[in-house]
Chains A and B, each alone.
Chain A
Amino acid sequence: EPEVTQTPSHQVTQMGQEVILRCVPISNHLYFYWYRQILGQKVEFLVSFYNNEISEKSEIFDDQFSVERPDGSNFTLKIRSTKLEDSAMYFCASKSLDGPYEQYFGPGTRLTVT
């Protein structure tokens, strides 16, 4: 069964450093998402992406964040200058244009900012 994959599974970085989290969505999906889950809190929407542009973003997704689909398979989330409060599990999800309409989630990347 096709699945969403994410790399790395765990990333440790120092405050102020740039990080790129990578996702490979399911191959025929056209809608892409990033969510995050701070330890002990609920999953929060960050951004949605379709047709090579952002469709919607939350207030969390400020100028420090960006997303990109650099080629036909990868979908990336970049944090330009990480803060301690960016430490969280980051989930990528994708959805088909034609159905089924649920979002399929990857296993997540745990980002630890020290």
Chain B
Amino acid sequence: AQSVTQLDSHVSVSEGTPVLLRCNYSSSYSPSLFWYVQHPNKGLQLLLKYTSAATLVKGINGFEAEFKKSETSFHLTKPSAHMSDAAEYFCVVSGTPNFGNEKLTFGTGTRLTIIP
């Protein structure tokens, strides 16, 4: 079984300040972890992924996330927020690493608001 908990339903930061979106996971297997972003009325876009390689993962648009097994966490960060980062962010876990037809389990999402 696998699950994801996003600790904040809504995060507001000022433009130019750091972003931290928190995610904890639970998985029976060594997990693959992802962050997806959904802009208003748009589909789901992959930001970054962890698949048992480097624990610090860099993604698009300056985002990165660190896999911490001891804390079962996969928090998403960005050093400096931009207005275009305003969106819904989903932490996602996959039960088996890379192989097979595994389903994705989504967190409830964190809405990121950027204050001008």
Contact = CB atoms under 8 A, between A and B. Distances in A.
Report the interface size class on chain B. Answer: 20 to 34
A106 B107 CA distance: 19
B44 A105 contact: yes
A101 B51 contact: yes
Given A42-B108, A43-B90, A99-B98, A105 B103 contact: no
A33 interface: yes
A interface: dominant SS: strand
B32 to A, nearest CB: 7
A50 B44 contact: no
Interface of A: 31, 33, 35, 41-45, 48-50, 55-56, 58, 91, 93, 99, 101-108
Given A101-B32, A102-B34, A102-B49, A45 B103 contact: yes
Nearest to B45: A105
The 6 A-B pairs at the shortest CB distance, nearest first, are namely A107-B43, A55-B101, A105-B44, A43-B106, A45-B103, A101-B98
B109 interface: yes
A106 B108 CA distance: 19
Interface string B66-99: 0000000000000000000000001000000011
B46 interface: yes
Nearest to A32: B101
A108 B104 contact: no
Contact of B43 (A31, A50, A56, A106): A106
